[in-house]
Structure 1
């Protein structure tokens, strides 16, 4: 899609909306147009499609011929997104499937949608999750849950109520990237807008039974003056990537000179290089005749250049990038001679793990509200105290070896003997939610079998005793 979105004109003629709603639509539209170019730029860096920045020292012809790419911005996003693994909704009572959410989440492929929404949030500062009643006659789930990219969505934040007051999501575009359909999310209605060829917009209203905007943002590092967060692909990240990419180009150009050392010949005739200087540099045998005065030519080689300074410069940019993002240098392709120890690996990941834990708590707040909206839409109910206590469960973002986890769990069980009977112990040991469910199911099955065996043995014993004493 083209960056030409900034030339969009806010809708002027919209049917079936009030003047106040039209003002909100225009405000949202202007915000979307203002944020779009920057979001597209971050997408280009994420996809390693950013253009080479001219340096003035490298000829433009060489810059055009060399196709260099660098995936560091993608690593800044994915390294953190991989540690935000959602395992499901839980309640203080420890229910496996509170409020029967599994069916709706599975119908919406939430296990596939949410990781994409998290990645998009880290890429563009935020993403959005919308919930609305689905058209079951058309094959949609009872409650439709969809992830929306900030590249084509925007919202207005209500600071007093700490929630979204209105939002806009583009759902369709024309071949040249102009919006042709979009949804506007308001507290009392959802407006489905379609653009006519004349430029006017036709609106279809759908009532909102909850009385609050059916959209929740997933944000990275929200702040008081930036409630929708900031991108992991920051200005320092883009600047460092530009310099590192230029270093790759310089290294590629220098490699050609490094492969063919420069030579100098004194006292040769003009036709000594009839086959060309490049051919003379790569020939295995090279013969030069005496000059017209009979003197033997002098051939010398300039000192061989080294690529070490460029390698050191690239390593320096990798260190700067690691400092700006928390991504370990080893993940950027910088290999050290001595493999790091387990303690060193833990120290390198410490900042990333801390950021992931903080982010999981932030996103859990939004996911709780998503779950609450799903239940309230499905059951046409109010927000109950039990529903308020629902929470999101995440996998441990830190890698812990099974041996270390088992040793720590054993020591904790000595202090807290009841810990071994808790599901938290299984989570601490590193089991996934699916594995925990299967383990508990096997445990219950084993307990049932043991109980039946005990009852059967007790029945036989009672019967034998009754046979020995007929009275």
Structure 2
């Protein structure tokens, strides 16, 4: 494949940086909303600003449920590489950044002792040319440091086996490695053939419904001013009557009107008070649209249901979120395995083949934590299944289903799962269970 060069990658990053930064603005609730209402006076548009964190909730609700456990069948000691790099912080940081901007990048380097160092770089500061087969980069570019004006002060250009460092656009250092690919690895959320760098969790639909909800809240804030002080009127006032201050008339608890020389007195009244119900209904409609777009529920967005839901009902209502989380686990698991592969090549100073790591599988904690009901159902199911197929469900399978470790620190003891059901249920009950199966 022909090399594109650092100038091409700089232009590519400049092209997509603004879009990625916009996602961060929505996540940080700093996005600027231009109100083009034809009915709202210009003097009022900038005085009422609403802030809603629905996009933040959409990202955090998924990121908080993605908990990476370890690599199974780890023959290359990949878990050790991540553990020495504060794995708890590293995985959470990489997952959150990838969900916001569709992808993030992990910069791999070696310290003085030859131990791999992993640094997460957000999608606004790195890009590259991706290999569609392995998901690794054949070329990469990253901004490693910026000044107070967001100008790049330290840059790096990556290619297989070499990393070039630039400071103030001047080449200052070249580091050689044994990595068969660039030592800048992408962590991608929901990639496809058209968009190999994935798709953001903050979609255009999420942005639309959040902006619509913000406009609704701003209109309701302005209407609340009139809702608090309904308009009053007086008819039949003499033309010679002394005018009164409108503000005092609005907040005064008692108004006195004298009769004129003919003994007539004015008639007082007030216009119907404005209702806030239409705004609340429109806000709830926006929340329903956002929930359908993001896979959340109205309870997650601040509209609690009347009757509290059980644990099973909560799981059923979050079925879309569960499926989305499982898809994200597959995408991120492949990216983390690529990080371990490049780091292992650099640590061992040997260019391994990517196909040598296919038996190493990423393990994740369950999307939903197991409650008492789930543990009871899993236990009963494990006993019955192991009666039909002895040893089919062992401690590793039980841990994958519940996320609970056993007393030995590895999961349930397989002997208590139901391999020998007669020791647990008794001989007569085991026979009855076997007849049911």
TM over 0.5: yes
Q: Distance in 2 between matches of 1:382 and 1:213?
A: 12
| Unpaired runs of at least 5, structure 2 | 415-437
The yes-or-no answer on 1:111 pairing with 2:88 is: yes
**Residue matched to 2:145:** 172
Matches within 5 A, 1:326-345: 326-345=295-314
Q: Distance in 1 between matches of 2:40 and 2:408?
A: 61
Match of 2:279 among 291, 310, 326: 310
Offset of residue 118 of structure 1: 0.8
Provide closer, same or farther for how the CA distance between residues 154 and 296 of structure 1 changes in structure 2, counting only shifts above 3 A. Answer: same
Structure number with the higher helix fraction is: 1
Offset of residue 35 of structure 1: 0.7
Partners of 1:132 and 1:143 within 8 A in 2: yes
Provide closer, same or farther for how the CA distance between residues 231 and 421 of structure 1 changes in structure 2, counting only shifts above 3 A. Answer: closer
Partners of 2:127 and 2:141 within 8 A in 1: yes
TM-score (norm. length: structure 1)? 0.80
Q: Distance in 2 between matches of 1:58 and 1:421?
A: 65
Partner of 1:87: helix, strand, or coil? Answer: strand
Match of 1:402 among 364, 367, 372: 372
Provide closer, same or farther for how the CA distance between residues 283 and 392 of structure 1 changes in structure 2, counting only shifts above 3 A. Answer: same
Partners of 2:154 and 2:165 within 8 A in 1: yes
Residues 206-248 of structure 1 deviation map (CA, whole Å, 9 limit, x = unaligned): 1121221122211111110100011111212111111110001
TM-score (norm. length: structure 2)? 0.86
Partners of 2:396 and 2:411 within 8 A in 1: no
Partners of 1:187 and 1:211 within 8 A in 2: yes
Partner of 1:57: helix, strand, or coil? Answer: coil
State the superposition RMSD in angstroms: 2.5
**Residue matched to 2:430:** none
Offset of residue 121 of structure 1: 0.7
Match of 1:229 among 193, 198, 207: 198
Partners of 1:187 and 1:213 within 8 A in 2: yes
Q: Distance in 1 between matches of 2:261 and 2:371?
A: 78
Partners of 1:152 and 1:170 within 8 A in 2: yes
Offset of residue 278 of structure 1: 3.0
| Unpaired runs of at least 5, structure 1 | 1-19, 445-471
Q: Distance in 1 between matches of 2:368 and 2:255?
A: 61
Offset of residue 440 of structure 1: 4.3
Offset of residue 66 of structure 1: 2.0
Partner of 1:303: helix, strand, or coil? Answer: coil
Q: Distance in 1 between matches of 2:229 and 2:207?
A: 34
Matches within 5 A, 1:257-336: 257-269=226-238, 274=244, 276-291=245-260, 293-336=262-305
Q: Distance in 2 between matches of 1:287 and 1:89?
A: 82
Offset of residue 394 of structure 1: 0.6
Higher Rg: 1
**Residue matched to 1:454:** none
Residues 380-413 of structure 1 deviation map (CA, whole Å, 9 limit, x = unaligned): 2353777442121111113442222322222222
**Residue matched to 2:98:** 121
Partners of 1:36 and 1:152 within 8 A in 2: yes
For this pair of structures, how many residues does the alignment match? 407
Q: Distance in 2 between matches of 1:285 and 1:387?
A: 84
Provide closer, same or farther for how the CA distance between residues 310 and 285 of structure 1 changes in structure 2, counting only shifts above 3 A. Answer: same
Partner of 1:439: helix, strand, or coil? Answer: coil
**Residue matched to 2:7:** 26
Q: Distance in 1 between matches of 2:199 and 2:357?
A: 30
The yes-or-no answer on 1:81 pairing with 2:35 is: no
Offset of residue 107 of structure 1: 2.7
